Amino acid sequence: MTATHEKPEATMTGTQPETVQMNLIQAVTQALREELARDERVVLFGEDVGARGGVFLATQGLQSEFGAKRVFDTPLSEASIVGAAVGMAVRGMRPVAEIQFADYMGPGFDQIISQAAKIRYRSGGQFSAPLVIRTPSGGGVKGGHHHSQSPESYFTHTPGLKVVMPSTPYDAKGLLKAAIRSDDPVIYFEPKRLYRAAKGEVPTGDYIVELGKGVIRRAGTDLTLIGYGGVMPDVERAAEALAASGVQAEVIDLRSLVPWDKHLVLESVARTGRALLISEAPRISNFMGEVAYTVQREAFDALLAPVGQVAGFDTPYPYVQDKTYLPGVNRILREAAQLLSY
């Protein structure tokens, strides 16, 4: 469903330029498999990640391949999953913890914001917690409000954490490998509605996608559409619809929220004069508010219209109104039309 327009500009260290068609969750599995094989300090754990392979099967087969010492189930406790990852990381390991749904990060929240995010800073750099927390997030799968939320802004608001969210299989693999190799704690959100829907070519060799770098999915001159994660297919469809009516929209996928690629966004908006920010998280304190502020503050002279935003609503996520809640192509097009006619 999602076309990958990018060139693999990221570092290629493998000698085989071969690629294989796969979906996003297969790319996650491949990244985990390669990192487990590459570095014995890497371990995977969480609820059901062992024999079952995770509720979405992201870790399927990895326990039988690498053993229960490397890939294991834990008690049903987000506080202990995250907390154990913190303790392992400071003792020199590279834990990759799975939180079954991002909605369940609540019980592990203090471990993330008070321990993982703070250890390097509060100890004056004496200790650090290089861990990865992987978690499926976002809506569109008829999950109701405890299986559909987009809590990324809670974490972008906490200095010390890096926050990433891929939207393509290529990025899913490259960003996850970069996250595991990062010396900082990384919250890695996986847009669950793209797990099987997003397909694309993925190199079979080792490569990373650098954290903090966005990518232009489609070049354009009239308007910049900026999104990340689960909304990207609709953002690209909206750009195609705009193209059919003669409007050339540039599409940016942020990929990383902290740090985020401010220069890529500002350069694009300087060319197009219009910015439309799309995400599915509730609007108040949405991370895109930071992007909007930055664009109006640093590219004000280039703006031909106010910065636009399409977000989720400030309601708990509604089960029945799954599709209405999410920013869809029509809502993106309506907001784009307002900016274009301003």
Positions touching another protein (CB under 8 A) are 43, 69, 74-75, 77, 79-80, 82-93, 95, 107, 110-111, 114-115, 118-128, 130, 159-160, 162, 182-184, 212, 258-260, 262-263
Residue 162 or 193 having the CB closest to another protein? 162
Tell the burial category of 121 from Cβ atoms under 10 Å away from its Cβ (0-12, 13-18, 19+). Answer: exposed
Catalytic entry in 145, 146, 147, 157: 147
Map tokens 């200790």 to a residue: 127
- Inter-residue contact 135 to 107 (CB < 8 Å): no
Burial (CB count <10 Å: 0-12, 13-18, 19+), residue 246? exposed
Rounded alpha-carbon distances, angstroms, from residue 303 to 80, 168, 196: 48, 30, 38
Residue 311 three-state SS = strand
Shorter beta-carbon distance to another protein: residue 107 or 289: 107
Q: Which residues of 17-51 are buried (b: 16+ CB within 10 A; e: fewer)?
A: eeeeebbbbbbbbbbbbbbbeeeeebbbbbbbbbe
Smallest gap from residue 184 Cβ to another protein (A): 5
Q: CA dihedral in degrees (24, 26, 28, 29; nearest 10)?
A: 170
| Residue 79 or 243 having the CB closest to another protein | 79
Nearest distance, CB of residue 258 and another protein, angstroms: 8
- Name the minimum Å distance from CB 142 to another protein: 30
Smallest gap from Cβ 168 to another protein, in A, equals 23
Closer Cβ to another protein, 85 or 249, answer by number = 85
Contact 150, 102 (CB under 8 A): yes
Is residue 145 part of the annotated active site? The answer reads: no
Closest CB to another protein among residues 114, 330: 114
Tell me how far CA of residue 290 lies from CA of 129, 269, 306, 308, in angstroms. Answer: 26, 15, 15, 13
Exposed/middle/buried for 276, CB within 10 Å: 0-12, 13-18, 19+? buried
Q: From 254, 257, 247, 230, select the one nearest 305 (Cα to Cα).
A: 247
Contacts of 174 (CB under 8 A, 6+ apart): 10, 31, 207, 208, 209
54 versus 130: smaller Cβ distance to another protein: 130
- Both structure tokens of 229: 């994660």
Closest distance between another protein and the C-beta of residue 243, in Å? 32
**Bridge partners of residue 201, in order along the sequence:** 21
In angstroms, what is the minimal distance from the CB of 43 to another protein?
7
Q: Which residues are catalytic?
A: 147
